[in-house]
Amino acid sequence: MPNNRIPLPTVNRLSLYLKCFSELASSGTEYASSDQIARSIGLNPAQVRKDLAYFGKFGRRGFGYHVEQLKEHISKILGTHKQWRLAVVGTGNLGRALLMYPGFQARGFKIIAGFDVDPAKVGWELDGARIYHMDEIEKVIKKEKIDIVVITTPKDSLDAVMARLKETDIKGVLNFAGKHLKDEKIIVRNVDVALELEQLTFFLTNKNIE
């Protein structure tokens, strides 16, 4: 079991480690050194060893880390060892792109449905995911056993969407609506692309900062 006092930066790097170990496993690599892992994800070897030590003793002297073992262990910690059923609320350009993105399935996420208020979009089917009217959201979430909702609506619609979701058993939301959201019942991850771009331009402007 992982240490309960894991630093947030280490938690944020778990997906990088999973991607690294998945790629190594796909290439037939059985063991990988901390140097090799560090080069793959842009860290130093000491940080890699420190991060992985929070989750158990995996390194084997003279061999390194067992790739498949770490891949399975980190996948269980992240919860991606099982399939999560997703729905997308808002089927504009971003919403449709997410509905059709082929990479989710391999990472344990299956998009089941989309929702929109535009009658012209209701009834569409994109890569097996049917688009329903928002008026059906509670019924469809229950019927299809949706676990997570991705919101890509305009920010002015966010409060109304969340009010509907609170009437369901949804436990997680990924929010692209451009407005910070926090909720006592539902775990929310806010994705602000403009903020990420500002972080990028900061480092482009201040190139001497590591």
Q: Write the CATH number for 149.
A: 3.40.50.720
Q: What is the extent of the structural domain holding 130?
A: 84-194
Whether residue 88 is contained in a domain is answered as: yes
What would the pLDDT profile of 104-115 be if each residue is shown by its tens digit?
887 889 999 999
Kindly state whether residues 90 and 73 are assigned to the same domain.
Answer: no
- Closest by alpha carbon to 121, among 132, 136, 137, 112? 132
How is residue 177 annotated by DSSP?
S
In the chain, how many domains are there? Answer: 2
Kindly state whether residues 123 and 170 are assigned to the same domain.
Answer: yes
What would the pLDDT profile of 152-202 be if each residue is shown by its tens digit?
999 999 999 999 999 999 999 999 998 999 998 899 999 988 888 888 898
Residues 35-53: what's their mean pLDDT?
A: 93
Identify the pLDDT of residue 80. Answer: 84
What would the pLDDT profile of 60-77 be if each residue is shown by its tens digit?
777 889 999 999 999 998
What would the pLDDT profile of 113-152 be if each residue is shown by its tens digit?
999 999 999 999 998 999 999 999 999 999 999 999 999 9
Whether residue 153 is contained in a domain is answered as: yes
What would the pLDDT profile of 2-11 be if each residue is shown by its tens digit?
545 788 889 8
Identify the pLDDT of residue 209. Answer: 59
15-23 CB contacts, 8 Å cutoff, 24+ apart: 15/78, 16/41, 17/41, 17/51, 17/52, 17/70, 17/74, 18/71, 18/74, 18/75, 18/78, 18/80, 21/67, 21/68, 21/70, 21/71, 21/74, 22/71
Q: How many residues does the chain have?
A: 210
Identify the pLDDT of residue 107. Answer: 82
Identify the pLDDT of residue 1. Answer: 46
